Amino acid sequence: MADLFSPRRDDGRAEWKVIYDYVVGLPYGTSVKHEELAEALETTDKERVYRAVGRCNRQFVQENRARVLGNVRGAGYRVLQPSDYTPTAIGIQRQARRKMSNAVDLMRAAPLNDMTPAQREWAHRVTMVLVDNELRLRSQEQWQKDAERRLAELEHRVGIQSEEYVIDAEPAPIDGR
C-alpha cells in the first residue's frame, strides 16, 4: 500500500485533474455518465468520483472557465449551458440559506445549562454572530426583490421590454425533472 501522500495514479495526476482534462474540451450541454468518469479514474468508488468532480468544478470556477459539471440525477453530469449558471447559483444560495438557518436552530437548541460558564459565553457569542448573519442575508434578499420590482415598474412605465428576473424561483433541474 502506498503512503498517505503518494499519488493514486501511475501518471501522478490528481483525480480532479483527470476529470478536468476529460471535460475541459467538451462543448456546453455534453452529458458525461458516472461510468465514464469512474472508468477515467480507474475506480468503482462513486465517492471518489463525486469528490473529484467537486474539486474539478472548484478549479473551473477559480480559473473562470465555463465548463462546470452539473448533476443529472441517476445518470451522471452535464457541462452546464450558459443559461444553467443562474438557476444553479440560485440553488446554491438557497442551500446556503437553509444551512445558515440550521446553524441558528442548532445553537438555539444547545444545552446551555450543561455548559461551563466559558462554554456558555462562547455559545452565546456564536449564536449572536449566526443570528446577525442570517438577518443580514434575509434583509439583503428582500432589498434585492424590492429593487427588481421597482426596476420592472420603471421599465414598464417607459415602455422597455425586459426579461423577467425571478430571484426566488426554483432552479430548473438539469435533467429535466
The pLDDT tens digits of the residues spanning 105-122 come to 999 999 999 999 999 999
Q: Which of 28, 59, 80 is the last residue of a domain?
A: 80
Give the three cell numbers for residue 174: 438539469
Q: Is residue 75 part of a domain?
A: yes
Using DSSP bridges, classify how beta strands 69-72 and 31-33 pair: parallel, antiparallel or unpaired: unpaired
Domain CATH number, residue 70: 1.10.10.10
**The last residue of a domain, from among 80, 112, 127:** 80
For range 58-71, the mean pLDDT: 91
Asked if residue 151 and residue 89 are part of one domain, the reply reads yes
Residue 169 lies in a domain: no
With CA atoms as reference, report the closest residue to 173 among 97, 52, 90.
Answer: 90
Q: Which residue has the higher pLDDT, 3 or 104?
A: 104
What is the separation of C-alpha 9 from the centre of its chain, rounded to a whole number of angstroms?
28
Half-sphere exposure of 176 (CA within 13 A, CB side): 4
For 78-89, b/e burial (b = at least 16 CB within 10 A) is bbbeeebeebbe
Same structural domain, 107 and 140: yes
Instruction: Determine which helix (DSSP H) or strand (DSSP E) holds 64, and give its type and residue range.
Output: none
Query: Does position 164 have pLDDT exceeding 60, yes or no?
Result: no
Q: Are residues 74 and 92 both part of a single domain? A: no
**Strand, coil or helix: what is 1?**
coil
Q: Cell numbers of 143, please?
A: 432589498
Domain count, the chain: 2
The answer to whether the predicted template modeling score (pTM) of the entire model surpasses 0.85 is no
- Answer whether residue 2 is part of any domain: no
In a domain, 175, yes or no: no
Residue span of the structural domain in which 118 resides: 84-158
Q: Are 105 and 139 in the same domain?
A: yes
Residue 154 or 162, more confident:
154
Cell numbers linked to 152: 420592472
pLDDT-derived band at 169 (thresholds 50, 70, 90) equals very low
Q: And the C-alpha cell for 72?
A: 443529472
Q: Please say which residue of 80, 101, 129 terminates a domain.
A: 80
One-letter amino acid at 46 equals K
Confidence of residue 155 (pLDDT cuts 50, 70, 90): confident
Q: Are residues 75 and 106 in the same domain?
A: no
Query: Within this chain, do residues 143 and 97 fall inside the same structural domain, yes or no?
Result: yes
Query: Do 154 and 96 belong to one domain?
Result: yes
The reply to whether 174 falls in a domain is: no
One domain for residues 125 and 138: yes
pLDDT tens digit string along 90-105? 888 888 888 999 999 9
Q: How far is the C-alpha of 104 from the C-alpha of 102, rounded, in Å?
A: 5
Cα distance between residue 172 and residue 177, in whole Å: 8
